[in-house]
Homo-oligomer: A and B are copies of this chain.
Amino acid sequence: MMDGERQGDWVFMVTARAPTNIAVVKYWGKRDQKLILPINSSISVTLNPHDLSATTTVAVSPSFKADRLWLNGKEVSLQGDRYQNCLREIRSRATDVVDAKSGQSIRKQDWQRLHVHIVSKNNFPTAAGLASSAAGFACLVYALAQLMGVQERYKGEISSIARIGSGSACRSLYGGFVEWEMGKDDDGKDSVAIQLVEETHWEDLFVIIAVVSSRQKETSSTSGMQDSVNTSKLLHHRAKEIVPKVIIEMRKAILERDFATFARICCADSNQFHATCLDTSPPIFYLNDTSKKIISMVERWNKAEGTPQAAYTFDAGPNAVLFAPSKDKACELLSRLLFYFPPAADKNISSYVVGDVESLAFKDIDSPFKPPEVDGINITRFSGELDYILCTRPGGGPLVLKDHLIDSSTGLPL
């Protein structure tokens, strides 16, 4: 992993890629702000990192004068508690590392004084509200753990470090279907992510993300969830009485690949999360009128067929993450999106429908059909209300990559 020399000193680096994830049983509310311990367990689907992921190179060198971070091409401060907590926890678990290629060794105690340079970028727009902080912190912590030879002393230990960077980041440490167990301990050791099943367990599941245009200024999820904890009476009932049962049902639905149950819980849990946002004072609105049109579209389809054809879920923003139980249903879902939400006049279809379009083998991209459930109904089409539509699938967890984002001769971003 030794990649070069700089001013006579060595630079040692690791690059990793980590996925985003989308919760299907939502995390909303902390019982401990500093350790980021949640008031309920949550379950997520890891999304294919090929379509949505963060890539991070972490480097150390005796020549580095300070810890530094470049995010999507711009240097930003590492002074925030979240970064500092992650760095401290990883450094405290560092071990003796010997680079196989060069023979250069770094002793356990050296990590405390060696500075790191971190370069990270997303393969999707940060502003799109697609869980960039989850992928980012998962990737940072995973890469640092690789660099510093951190071995887990208990299952999920590294995920618990990602958790103190950004709660939902812990779920991005695994591929497939992941549960973040809320835990009971005050020190947060048992608040870890565990993989329920790998992505290959449910190969027929498809994911389509509808990115909504012209988004209003939003409440950050960090401050929003704290306001909810402090003011929503419904949130505590949800966390204590409702979610524990929902978690058990959702685990079972995933293990059995039971799409009808998965869809029912997924939609209801998303709506209930947004209900607790509305029950917050002052109220928080993440869903806008376009989000509601997407919900109505799915509900109308599901009602017409009598059984769930697709499911929706919304995080702290207006974008819809939609699930379909097969390639055919995913194509029908995409057709519906294109019917209700044609691209803006100045947009061509290839920049409107992006991501893993190939897996869908979608044929009707230029001529979306009118869904049978709206036959005889006067439906308005909403051109330009979506920015783009991203096709993807469940995917794998973090990986080490060979191509670095740091120039080994300068220690700076390439």
Residues on A close to B: CB < 8 A?
A: 231, 233-234, 237-238, 241-242, 264, 267-268, 271-272, 274-276, 278-283, 285, 288-289, 292, 295, 299, 303
Contacts and interface: CB of A to CB of B under 8 A. Distances in A.
Nearest to A281: B268
Contact of A278 (B237, B264, B274, B299): B274
20 contacts: A231-B268, A233-B238, A234-B234, A234-B238, A234-B242, A234-B272, A234-B276, A237-B237, A237-B241, A267-B281, A268-B281, A271-B278, A271-B280, A271-B281, A274-B278, A275-B275, A275-B276, A285-B292, A288-B289, A289-B289
Contacts of A278: 271-272, 274-275, 278
A292 B277 CA distance: 13
A378 B271 CA distance: 31
A276 to B, nearest CB: 7
Nearest to A293: B216
Q: Which 9 A-B pairs have the closest CB atoms?
A: A275-B275, A275-B279, A282-B299, A275-B278, A237-B237, A271-B283, A234-B234, A289-B289, A272-B279
A303 B282 contact: yes
Contacts of A231: 268
Total copies of this chain within the assembly: 2
A279 B246 CA distance: 14
A387 B280 CA distance: 29
Given A234-B237, A271-B280, A271-B283, 18 more contacts: A233-B241, A233-B242, A234-B234, A234-B238, A234-B272, A234-B279, A237-B237, A237-B241, A264-B281, A268-B281, A271-B281, A274-B278, A275-B275, A275-B278, A278-B278, A282-B295, A285-B292, A288-B289
A303 B227 CA distance: 14
Given A278-B278, A288-B289, A289-B289, A233 B283 contact: no
A303 B283 CA distance: 13
A264 B281 CA distance: 9
Nearest to A288: B289
A238 B237 CA distance: 9
Contacts of A275: 234, 275-276, 278-279
Given A237-B234, A238-B234, A288-B289, A279 B271 contact: yes
A271 to B, nearest CB: 5
A386 B234 CA distance: 31
Nearest to A246: B233
Contacts of A271: 278-281, 283
Contacts of A292: 285
Contacts of A282: 295, 299, 303
Contacts of A272: 233-234, 278-279
A271 B231 CA distance: 12
Contacts of A274: 278
Contacts of A234: 234, 237-238, 242, 272, 275-276, 279
A407 B408 CA distance: 97
B283 A295 contact: yes
A211 to B, nearest CB: 18
Contacts of A303: 282
A286 to B, nearest CB: 11
A231 B268 CA distance: 9
A280 to B, nearest CB: 8
Contacts of A283: 271, 295, 299
A274 to B, nearest CB: 6
A279 to B, nearest CB: 4
